[in-house]
Structure 1
Amino acid sequence: MNRRLPPPRLRRFPRTLPPLHHETWDSYVSRLAAANRISHLELHEHIDNRHRLHPDPLALLDAISGLSGHPRDRLLKALPDLRTSDLTRGLPPVCHPLDRGWQVQAVCTLCLATKGISTRARHWVRNTTRICLRHGRWTDTYHDQFDIRPLPEIIQAQHDHHRLAREHGWKTAVLAMRQAADWCWRWWDSRRFRKQRDRGLRYFIPPGAGTYREDPRLIASAYPDIVALAGLLASPELRSLPFTGSPQDFSRFIREVRARAAPGYRYEGAGVADPLVRWIEEERYYRTLPNHPFPMPNEPRTHNPEPLDQLTRRLNDLLASDADDRGRCASCGTKLKALKSNTRFCSTVCRSRDWRRQQHDRALRDASSRMQTRECPVCGVTWLAGLERRSDARFCSGRCKQAEHRRRSAVFDSPISNDLVREPNRGLRRPDQLSRLAAEDLS
């Protein structure tokens, strides 16, 4: 009588380890392999071997449970990346699959040492976590961890970052941090407002030592300024201050920027390349659209979708040249909060934009009325003077200008042109021509 044998399963390792809280399954399998003195790759090959686990491949959760000896429920509670909607159906809500608000980070080495673990491990943490608050160590990157306790402003920035996510949501915090980091790095690359960052950097890096852009010590030094500026951008009330049309609100926004990350910042002399100036212009344009396309996750939509006929009527009223709407900005259409008899624009940016548009329209009208065309003496290309190129342009491009210069230089350097004399404002003349011209001038 033939007896059907059960399919072979993975045998339990002689030495097993308990999983850490929210540890990744790859980190746990690596620690399990190191405890039993086998390589991590060899253990993965052992799990994925179809000939060893016939007739069907074993599920990853069952494989880890068989190797470690821990039950499935315990592994699901400790290893979040093994959870699926089917497996966690009967478990409490804390054991449900994680959302995108979590990220993988290295576990603090001092926390591992307190549990008697000498190997490295990785676990899932909130995406606002940069520091181990228990031991005051920077753990955000995969480089060597370092102590930040002598700089309490970095630890305070971690608390502010957590509070930011609790008040406005992790999606808003991520977008605000990304935008604040872009502003700060652009300012620091132009050697502006980096006094506070360099003060923390001098503690981590000794004098004379170099650094690079992805250096974790540089990122830790810049963390407090970025978090402080992100708090301004994440708040719906403070974020909308430059677009209310009130000079007091705009001044308050600039004061907040100065107090948080840019001491001595001046909006008037910043220039068009400044990141704050560019953001205000882009955000003001987005807020004038019928349905704001890029609001923050916690920002309510101030505009509801309008029907097509109402939208067309509204756009025609804004674009009409003879529309006399004293209650809105003549450039962007924003409603003016402080209504005066001579107020036409909501800010200096809109005034400058309207002036540039008028200059361009005037140049188009003048060029179309005159219709003056110029021809390049080198390649023969024609253009409309004052519109496509400058009104006093002689060549169509710098290449043609350089070609003409080389041609004239070659004529001057040749031996045939030794008897030619250059005369100002008269080109090249021969000696007999110069004598005749001199006689004409005397007569």
Structure 2
Amino acid sequence: MLDAISHLSGHPRDRLLKALPDLRTSDLVRGLPAACQLLDDGWHVQAVCTLCLGAKGVFTQARHWVPKSTRLCLRHGRWTDTYHTQFDVRLLPEIIQAQRDHHHLVREHGWQTVVIAMRQAADWCWRWWDSRRFHQQRDRRLKLLLPPGGGTYREDPRLIASSYPDIIALTGLLASPKLRNLPFTGRDRDFRQFITEVRARAAPGYRHEGAGVADPLVRWIEEERYYRTLPNHPFPMPNEPRTHNPETLEDLTRRLDVLLAPESDELGHCASCGTRLKDANPRMQFCSTACRSRNWRRQQHQRALRDASSRMEKRECPVCGVSWTTGTDRRHDARYCSGRCRQAAFRRRTAVEDD
């Protein structure tokens, strides 16, 4: 089969074995160079959207390589992260927006940092939900995804999809070096800002006072404060290994010189593109007017998605009967689902007038 596909497609055997995991066997992979045996670590194998396959005339299951930040098909709004039955999530635009935010976090901070930050965020959320706290939004989404009379279990893909927006929101908090450092600056204003971010993202009404040592956020702050006291981790990042082995004197001197370099004292990063700012002004947040405008448009788009998700207004196409959520999938004043249906309605009206 490998030789037949190579002959029909014109691609060499090495490239096909690298791109198509279903063609691999132990004997074939053993003879390949190390660079061709696996893709980059930031990729993994996932099931292909059945609607995408149907559009190409394929009606069997297939798998393909996708980035690790891929959870659903943005074109058709179908959850494809697991090998279970795929389902539609277009009724919940916040899940689709969470997928876009996930891609943006990977582009901004790197997939290694996002993976570790997402693991920590998921631990927080599931501990809160297991203790029946801050689960109202997740339960609302789960109720729309479950069929009438259907139940759920811990590894249910619908349960995972309904928890995805909250986890991604906290991931953005933990992946950002600036926001992650707020509880450890020693200023009450920064600590209150961090708690406000946690409340706005995934835990409305959270109170840190009197939370107890079992609270996941309290435990994380204590552990992170300890890691920051280690000599080889003065400012630990999520993608750095958690090791207690001290570095050599030369490594510590080199790290200290980098931290104390004049060009890295007060310079921040652009809040939109992440570029290092040339000015040391602490009030500067963006490197250019284009980034400031891009950030404003992104905030307006997210606000419109939240408003549309809270209203949940449905509209139906008078030609084909397809329904959509007003303000998210299409414009607020849209009457038809596509230009084809709009043209069909126009032809019907003209035919009636001619008769």
TM score, norm. by length of structure 1: 0.50
Matching residue of 1:225: 166
Q: Displacement of 1:88 after TM fit?
A: 8.1
- The whole-number CA distance in structure 2 between the counterparts of 1:84 and 1:167 is 34
Q: Displacement of 1:69 after TM fit?
A: 3.2
Over residues 366-399 of structure 1, what are the superposed CA-to-partner deviations in whole Å (9 max), with x where a residue is unaligned? xxxxxxxxxxxxxxxxxxxxxxxxxxxxxxxxxx
Residue 255 (structure 1) aligned to one of 187, 196, 210 = 196
Distance 1:168 1:270, change over 3 A: same
Point out the structure with max Rg over C-alpha.
1
Matching residue of 2:318: none
- The whole-number CA distance in structure 1 between the counterparts of 2:56 and 2:148 is 37
Aligned positions, number: 240
Q: Percent identity?
A: 67
Q: Displacement of 1:297 after TM fit?
A: 2.4
Distance 1:120 1:306, change over 3 A: closer
Q: Which amino acid aligns with 2:174?
A: L
- The whole-number CA distance in structure 2 between the counterparts of 1:113 and 1:306 is 58
Q: Which amino acid aligns with 2:7?
A: G
Matching residue of 1:171: 112
Report if the CA contact (8 A) 1:137-1:145 is conserved: yes
Matching residue of 1:73: 11
Distance 1:113 1:67, change over 3 A: closer
Distance 1:148 1:71, change over 3 A: closer
Matches for 1:207-222 after TM superposition, within 5 Å? 208-222=149-163
Q: Displacement of 1:207 after TM fit?
A: 5.5
Report if the CA contact (8 A) 2:43-2:66 is conserved: yes
Q: Displacement of 1:106 after TM fit?
A: 0.4
- The whole-number CA distance in structure 1 between the counterparts of 2:46 and 2:116 is 20
Matching residue of 2:182: 241
- The whole-number CA distance in structure 2 between the counterparts of 1:87 and 1:71 is 20
- The whole-number CA distance in structure 1 between the counterparts of 2:91 and 2:111 is 28
Matching residue of 2:239: 297
Q: Displacement of 1:296 after TM fit?
A: 1.8
- 3-state secondary structure, aligned to 1:259: helix
Q: Displacement of 1:70 after TM fit?
A: 3.1
Report if the CA contact (8 A) 1:157-1:223 is conserved: yes
Q: Displacement of 1:286 after TM fit?
A: 0.9
Deviates more, 1:203-212 or 1:73-82: 73-82
Q: Does 1:127 align with 2:68?
A: yes
Matching residue of 1:112: 53
Q: Does 1:276 align with 2:217?
A: yes
Matches for 1:23-422 after TM superposition, within 5 Å? 64-66=2-4, 69-70=7-8, 73-74=11-12, 76-78=14-16, 79-80=18-19, 81=21, 98-206=39-147, 208-292=149-233, 295-297=237-239, 305=247, 307=249
Report if the CA contact (8 A) 2:113-2:239 is conserved: yes
Q: Which amino acid aligns with 1:297?
A: N
- The whole-number CA distance in structure 2 between the counterparts of 1:158 and 1:261 is 16
Q: Displacement of 1:177 after TM fit?
A: 0.8
- The whole-number CA distance in structure 2 between the counterparts of 1:68 and 1:232 is 46
Report if the CA contact (8 A) 1:65-1:71 is conserved: no
Q: Which amino acid aligns with 1:114?
A: A
Over residues 207-228 of structure 1, what are the superposed CA-to-partner deviations in whole Å (9 max), with x where a residue is unaligned? 6432100001110000000000
Report if the CA contact (8 A) 1:85-1:97 is conserved: no
Report if the CA contact (8 A) 2:6-2:12 is conserved: no
- The whole-number CA distance in structure 1 between the counterparts of 2:183 and 2:156 is 35
- The whole-number CA distance in structure 2 between the counterparts of 1:70 and 1:122 is 20
Over residues 65-122 of structure 1, what are the superposed CA-to-partner deviations in whole Å (9 max), with x where a residue is unaligned? 1466336635544552569899689xxx9x9951111111000000110111111001
Distance 1:86 1:238, change over 3 A: farther
Q: Which amino acid aligns with 1:295?
A: M
- The whole-number CA distance in structure 1 between the counterparts of 2:12 and 2:6 is 11
- 3-state secondary structure, aligned to 1:70: helix
Distance 1:145 1:71, change over 3 A: closer
TM score, norm. by length of structure 2: 0.61
- The whole-number CA distance in structure 2 between the counterparts of 1:96 and 1:73 is 16
Over residues 391-428 of structure 1, what are the superposed CA-to-partner deviations in whole Å (9 max), with x where a residue is unaligned? xxxxxxxxxxxxxxxxxxxxxxxxxxxxxxxxxxxxxx
Matching residue of 1:379: none
- The whole-number CA distance in structure 2 between the counterparts of 1:157 and 1:101 is 19
- The whole-number CA distance in structure 1 between the counterparts of 2:29 and 2:183 is 45
Matching residue of 1:26: none
Unaligned runs of 5+ in 2: 253-355
Report if the CA contact (8 A) 2:6-2:13 is conserved: no
